[in-house]
Structure 1
Amino acid sequence: MSDTPLDLNGRSATSPPSDNEPRYLDVNGAILLDETDADDMDYAPAESEEDDDLMDDDYNDGEFHVSREQIMQLLGHAGLRRIFADHTTQRRAPLDDDDDSETDNTGYGGLGARRKRKGRKAFEKPPSAEGKKLIASGTFGANERTVDSYKRKKRLTYRLMHRELGLGCSGRQKLRNNVISQGLIPSSKADTIIHYNARCYSGQFSNDGNFFFSCAQDFKVRMYDTSNPYRWKYYKTVDYPYGQWTITDASLSPDNKFLAYSSIRSVVCLAPTDPSDNSDPHLLDFSNTGFRDRRGFHTYPYFGIWSLRFSGDGREIVAGTGDRSVYVYDIEKQRSILRIQGHDDDVNAVCYGDPNSPHILYSGSDDTTIKVWDRRSMGDGRCAGVFLGHTEGLTYVDSKGDGRYVLSNGKDQTAKLWDLRSMLSPRDANSIDINAYTTGFEYRTNSYDETEYRPHPHDRSLVTFRGHSVLKTLIRCHFSPPGSTDSRFVYSGSYDGSVYVWNMDATLAGKVDVLNATRNSRPRDADLLAETYDFIGRNGGQWQTCVRDASWHPNAPVIAATSWNGWGTSLGTCTVHTWNDGMEDDEGDPAMGQRVNSELKHDPELYGSAERRPASLFRRHRRRLAEDDE
């Protein structure tokens, strides 16, 4: 062994290093590029019979000889390496929140196991590559063709001029119309604010745009004539006679003649929409499966309905329920003809995959899965496929209507786009423990901690949309309609009081700020506020908005947002937002921002003083509590 002192790489310490010579070597002689790479590596000393024999011989000679290879092995040990690194290398700065590294040094076994990034670092940064492919494919809207070599941002007036000139073939003119509709995203300024004395849970336009309904917590469904989307007319109101907590969902028949609406019960009300028909609604008992027990009761009488949808032919209604099931009700037979038990928790959302066929069903559950059911091949009761990717429960699912693309909202604060061709088979899904990838987040009482987010390792979604808040209630998302938006966007309500509109590549296309549009739009009413649990002692001191649902008119640039709204989100609104080219006001009649009651009548009390009256409020609340105790 030479007496010449050696450095860490085994060369003479007195000789200057070569420019092309590496600074460090690992135990196997592999080259590490620099000190940073060396600091990122962990090593364990290799042991072999030859090394043991060599050590024994050295001890027997009375001298202790250490080879260069053994020195390098010892220095490669994780603990010793860190000691020497204090003097030979500069310490590496700890990872911060912006570091995108996916590796973590985890001890003495060489390079540590890969650790998944968590929190915001794990978010896919828009634009999404898959989303850009979808946009380029033409499936979600048309793409403008280049007409000249000069690239410039084309304003609406420029596009209208080319359309009026009628240049090009009919296909080129149709393309211009589609591109024009893509830019007409409604603004935050509300044309009309419809106030309710109860929280508003959902509201949707009919497929032809001539009808709109809204569901409120006072167990009433209001119907409106929207054949002129800019001037609504009140139609009628129907009640749920013995509902529990709220009206959870409603669905309009394809011919607009009947409205089905549900509560946290197994009975669905079916009411005619004809304003001259004041008959009581028909009661559809979904627990009636055609079988009764020995006492004469239906087999499954105890469950609530969270979601329901009419089939495309209007003969059936599918429902997602609190007993972890999906029911299909035949209106003519007046009983449920199918009960699907395929989830491990509440089924919060259901829909048909194709309006032209009742065979394909989608269901989203609190067990974090979306399942696809084909009624033509359910002899063994198994689903046709499973979508995995959400790490918390589902709040809504929506179908594009083409039997291929599905959109979902989840309590993990994401909306996701899915392709039916990429779903997992039931066999593969059953081999995965879905409970291993969820925290069971309680969205009704807590805020979501993004720092604890971890992506699902079996995520099959195409695009993930972020920015909105899915809290407190089952917030809904939708595909934008082909007529008024060229199917270009997806959009969702949000707990922060906005409607988020995304392009298919997950970039934000626009946002409708319902909170600012409605802020302080009605005075405090002590009698109403004392009834709400959110007001007393918590958030009643400020105006709050949670947009639970939104609906884009199929033929006009109009969005109707239904919200929990008011002091402490105690009441409700339905706000009508139109595209107005960024203007805060217009010359039309009625003026923008008008406040009306549930029957669209001007109510002077809505323009009253918003002066605070907390003392009177609390006295009344205490008096009511005392009366309840008595």
Structure 2
Amino acid sequence: SPSDLPSMASRFLPSLNRGPIGKSEAYMFCGQFSLDGKFFMSASQDQVIRIYDVNTILLKKSTISTANVGWSIIDCNPSPDNKLLVYSSWSPYIHLATFAPQDYDPNEDIDKRLKYIEKHEQLYLNPGNYRFCAFAVRFSPDGKEILAGSNDDHLYIYDLEKNVRTEKIHAHKSDINTVCYAGSSCPNLFYSGSDDGLCKVWDRRQCSTSSSTPVGILAGHSDGITCVTSKGDGRYFISNGKDQTCKLWDIRKMADSAPQIPRASNLWDYRYEAAPSRHARVIHPHDQSLMTYTGHHVLQTLIRCYFSPMSTTGQQYIYTGSHDGIVYIFDILTGQIVKRLYGHSHIVRDVNWHPYLPVLFSSSWDGTCLMW
């Protein structure tokens, strides 16, 4: 029965490397499935976004040539209706590409099935900072706004209907590397993670340029945060940190403030140096997290982490990329590593599990996107 599917399917984790679905001479930075699971989007440093059709046996592809990319595409996100794609780079603009998947005959040519409109809109965030990057971009659950976290310690909210950046919020004391919404059931709630080591919870209804007060703060990482991802229920989320841990949080444990501790990043740079040994790492004395997962390596880039799909695993697992080129899958309750996926020769920056199929794609700096 449908109710038994997650229990049965969760026993069978992705393990067989089916080979690369795509290759590039440049680093792969992002890889995400559309919400309906029909398409997979991969973005790399060669300034190309590749779109794969998951419904065909052979993953045929089309591409979107990006516009005015500085250094690399840093983040991308499909809209809830799968018609728009936002991406960011080192630029005061974020970019909106439009594509419209239509109903199609599976035997039809890919270029006829995917009606790409080669049109890009540049959305000016007006940061007032010459060297600017939106490290993270996310559509709101209703698709009407785009949320961005940036290197100038601010959150930005862009209203797509008004076609203007409406809010600029001084949210953290260091780079904001990651943002995400809590879920469609609570569309006004979102989370942010920063190099100041804090996760913050925000209510869109209380956000304005003149006010930068979150509804709650969660402390526990002893170094900067590279990724926050919601479970989608408005209560739980996970975060990857430069302290080489992934943590599980319950926002019902959040506080109004959090004591600051010296960050380990004051003593080392994760972009160039090896992480301090386990015994040298700073343990946060006021850790509010529910669980801590270790074994993977968060170095050199903003490595992503996620919950496994509800439909096939009941969200029983957490999975993450890693600096050592391995995909790690953790049991959410025990914290144990239940699977390591070997196949890449460089950093796995992003990894995405299909929402309905027993398939996982990993995007690596070795220039490949592997199917498991």
Q: Indicate whether the TM-score tops 0.5.
A: yes
Greater gyration radius? 1
Q: 1:391 aligns with which of 215, 222, 225?
A: 222
Unaligned runs of 5+ in 2: 101-113
Per-residue deviation, 1:278 = 3.8
Change (3 A) 1:220 1:437: closer
Change (3 A) 1:210 1:174: closer
2:262 & 2:162 partners in 1: Cα distance? 39
Any idea what SS the aligned residue of 2:155 has? strand
Q: Which residue does 1:309 correspond to in 2?
A: 138
Of the structure 1 ranges 453-462 and 271-280, higher mean CA displacement relative to structure 2 is found in: 271-280
CA shift in 2, pair 1:452/1:383, >3 Å: same
Secondary structure of the residue aligned to 1:484 is: helix
Equivalent residue number for residue 261 of structure 1 = 87
Q: Does the 8 Å contact 1:392/1:440 carry over to 2?
A: no
Match of 1:563 in 2: 364
Identity of aligned residues (%): 40
1:393 shift after superposition: 0.5
| Partner in structure 2 of residue 461 of structure 1 | 289
Of 192-201 and 305-314, deviating more is 192-201
Matched with 1:421 is 252
CA gap 1:394/1:512 in 2 versus in 1, 3 angstroms: same
Gaps of 5+ in 1: 1-172, 288-297, 516-543, 566-571, 578-630
Instruction: Find 2:337's aligned residue among 490, 496, 508.
Output: 508
**Structure with the larger RCO, 1 or 2 (CA within 8 Å, 6+ apart):** 2
Q: C-alpha distance in 2, partners of 1:200/1:305?
A: 18
Given that 1:481 and 1:552 are in contact with CA atoms closer than 8 Å, whether structure 2 keeps it comes out as yes
Whole-Å separation in 2 of the counterparts to 1:305 and 1:331: 17
Contact 1:181 1:486 in 2 (8 A): no
Q: Between Structure 1 and Structure 2, which shows a larger proportion of helix residues?
A: 1
Give the counterpart letter for 2:272 in structure 1. Answer: T
- Distance in 2 (CA, whole Å) between partners of 1:433 and 1:487 is 32
Q: Does 1:355 align with 2:184?
A: yes
Is 1:334 aligned to 2:135, yes or no? no
1:249 to 53, 75, 79: 75
Q: Deviations over 1:419-463 (max 9, x none)?
A: 00111213xx2xx23336764531111011223013100100001
Tell me if the contact between 2:223 and 2:263 (Cα under 8 Å) persists in the aligned partners: no
Give the conservation status (yes or no) of the 8 Å contact 1:368–1:434.
no
Give deviations 1:551-584, integer Å, cap 9, x for gaps.
Answer: 000111100000011xxxxxx100111xxxxxxx
1:392–1:441: 8 Å Cα contact kept in structure 2?
A: no
Letter in 1 for 2:98: P
Deviation at 1:301, TM superposition (A): 6.2
C-alpha distance 345-225 of structure 1, shift in aligned 2 (>3 A)? same
Structure with the higher fraction of residues in strand conformation: 2
Contact residue 188 and residue 514 of structure 1 kept, 8 A: no
Give, in whole Å, the separation in 2 of the partners of 1:232 and 1:485: 24
**Count of aligned residue pairs for this structure pair:** 355
Q: Residue in 2 aligned with 1:448?
A: 275
Structure 2 counterpart of 1:208? 36
Amino acid at match of 2:369: C
Equivalent position SS for 1:280: strand
* 2:182 and 2:233 in contact (8 A); partners too: yes
Q: 1:178 Cα shift?
A: 2.2
Distance verdict in 2 for CA 1:279–1:176, change over 3 Å: closer
Q: Give CA deviations for 1:323-375 in whole Å, capped at 9, x if unaligned.
A: 11111110111111111102111100001112244321211001111111112
- Conserved? CA contact 1:188–1:511, under 8 Å: no
Q: Quote the Cα distance in structure 1 between the aligned partners of 2:50 and 2:40.
A: 8
CA RMSD of aligned residues (A): 1.8
Q: Is the 8 A contact 2:196 2:263 kept in 1?
A: no
Q: SS of the counterpart of 1:273? A: strand
Cα distance between partner residues in 2 of 1:328 and 1:497:
34
Distance 1:279 1:558 in 2: 30
Displacement of 1:259 = 0.7
Decide which moves more: 352-361 or 335-344.
Answer: 352-361
- Is contact 2:17-2:370 (8 Å) kept? no
Structure 2 length as normaliser, TM-score?
Answer: 0.91
SS at match of 2:271: coil
- The two structures have a TM-score, normalised by structure 1, of 0.54
Secondary structure, in 3 states, of the residue corresponding to 1:207?
A: coil
State the alpha-carbon separation in 2 of the partners of residues 392 and 340 from structure 1.
Answer: 22
Asked whether the equivalents of residues 311 and 318 of structure 1 are also in contact (C-alpha less than 8 Å), the reply is yes
1:300 Cα deviation after fit:
5.6
Matched, 1:281 2:281: no
Q: Among 182, 193, 200, which residue is 2:10 paired with?
A: 182
- CA–CA distance in structure 2, aligned partners of residues 338 and 178 of structure 1: 40
Preserved contact between residue 328 and residue 339 of structure 2 (Cα < 8 Å) = yes
What's the offset of the Cα at 1:174? Answer: 4.5
Report the AA paired with residue 546 of structure 1: I
